[in-house]
Copies of this chain bind each other. A is one copy, B any other.
C-alpha cells in the first residue's frame, strides 16, 4: 500500500538508483511488513542546488547538496517503534546502495486510511 516518492540529486548511475529503489523497499518489507509485491515508487532526479534545497546543518547534523528525499504515503497504524526501525533501515540500506551519506537521507511519512487506495481496475483494494 505504500507509494514512495524518491527525489535524488542528479548525477547517479542507473545501478545506484536501482539499488536505492530496492534498498528502500527492502527496508519497508523488513520493518513495516510490506509484502514484496507491494512495490510502488516514483523516482525523480533534480539539480542539487536549485531543485533540491537543504540547509548546511540542522539538529546538529551537517548536510551536503547530495540529498535524497523519501516521502512515503502509507496506511496509518504503524507504531513508533516500527517507524524508528524504518528510518534506521532506510538510512542504512539507501546510503550503502546509492553511496549517499546517511546524514543526507530525509524521510517523511504521510499516513492515510486503508480505504484511500486503489491498486488497479478501479477497486478499493483494502476495504
Contacts and interface: CB of A to CB of B under 8 A. Distances in A.
A108 B102 contact: no
Interface string A54-69: 1111110101000001
A-side binding surface: helix, strand, loop or mixed?
mixed
Interface residues of A, number: 65
Interface in A29-74: 35-44, 46, 50-59, 61, 63, 69, 71, 73
Contacts of A57: 37
B61 A39 contact: no
Report copies per complex. Answer: 3
Q: Which of A89, A110, A112 has the most CB of B within 10 A?
A: A110
Contact of A87 (B58, B103, B113, B123): B123
Contacts of A90: 118, 122
Given A41-B52, A43-B51, A105-B122, 12 more contacts: A7-B42, A38-B58, A39-B55, A40-B53, A58-B119, A58-B120, A88-B123, A103-B120, A103-B121, A106-B119, A106-B120, A109-B112
Interface of A: 3, 7, 14, 17-18, 21, 35-44, 46, 50-59, 61, 63, 69, 71, 73, 80, 83-84, 87-92, 102-113, 115-125, 127
